[in-house]
Structure formats: C-alpha cells, structure tokens
Structure 1
Amino acid sequence: MYAATLTEKFQIGIPKAFRDDLGLKAGQQFVFVAKGDAIIMIPRRDIKAVRGLFKGANTDNLRDRVDRF
C-alpha cells in the first residue's frame, strides 16, 4: 500500500512503483470517477489504442433499451 499527500494546490504525486507498473507517462490525461468515498483515476486512451478491443465478442444476447430496468 502506498500513500501520497494532497498539496495546497490540490496536486498529488503518483508513487513511482505505480507509474512503472502501469506505464504512466508525464503529460498523460486521466478521467476521474467518484464511487462513494473513493476516487477512481482512469488513464485516457487514444481511440486507436482500443481498436479491436471487443473483436470476437458474442453479440447474440444483446438487450435493447426497452428491455432494461
């Protein structure tokens, strides 16, 4: 477990071990999502990087909007 401190300018440093493991780069953009008391930070990816992500996915059992609760 790693800890970081929020500065007076509301900045926080990402521990080096995390940066290395996730391959984060300086200048990279992130999306922040609030989940209760937690903050999820998701690296924003170029659309080209996610191309083919769902290739071969089974689309036989898709729900339409009217089927959703």
Structure 2
Amino acid sequence: MSTITISSKYQIVIPKEIREKLRLSPRQKLQVLEKGGVISLVPEVPLKSLKGFVKGMDQSNLREKQERA
C-alpha cells in the first residue's frame, strides 16, 4: 500500500506503480467518490472503448420489464 500527501493546494500525486498498473495517462479524468469516509478514484473510460464489450453475452437469463419490479 502506498501513502500520499495532500499538498497545500489540495493536490495529490498517484504513485507510479498505480499509474502504470491502471495505464493512466496525463490529463485523463477520474471520478471522485466518497462513501463512509473512504475516497475512491475511478478512471473515466471513453465510450468508444466499450463498443462490443458484451459481444457473445448469454441472454438466456435476462429478466423482462415486469419481473424487474
């Protein structure tokens, strides 16, 4: 686990090993989420990169609208 420090301008630096593992790039946007005192940074993914990610998905267990309530 890495430790970071908040600067006087409230900025943080993401450790190199995390940036490389998640393939983060300069100017990439991150969503900031807080829940129960825990801060999470979630990289935004371009919509184009999601094209076809469910290709070949098994649709046999999908629920109908009436069953969703």
* Equivalences, count: 69
21-30 vs 54-63, greater mean Cα deviation: 54-63
Q: TM-score, with normalisation over the residues of structure 2?
A: 0.79
Q: Hey, what's the Cα distance between the residues in 2 that align with 1:65 and 1:39?
A: 35
Instruction: List gaps (5 residues or longer) in structure 1.
Output: none
What does the per-residue CA deviation read over 1:7-28, in whole Å, with 9 as the maximum and x for residues that have no partner?
2221111001111121111100
Cα distance in 1 between the residues matched to 2:66 and 2:9? 46
Asked if residue 58 in structure 1 is aligned to residue 51 in structure 2, the reply is no
Shift of 1:65: 5.4
Matches within 5 A, 1:20-59: 20-59=20-59
What secondary structure sits across from 1:32 in the alignment? Answer: strand
How large is the RMSD of aligned CA atoms in angstroms? 1.8
Unaligned runs of 5+ in 2: none
Deviation string 1:32-65 (CA, Å, 9 cap, x unpaired) is: 2223221221111111111111111122222355
In structure 1, C-alpha distance between the alignment counterparts of 2:66 and 2:41, rounded to whole Å:
32
Q: In structure 2, the residue corresponding to 1:39 is in which secondary structure?
A: strand
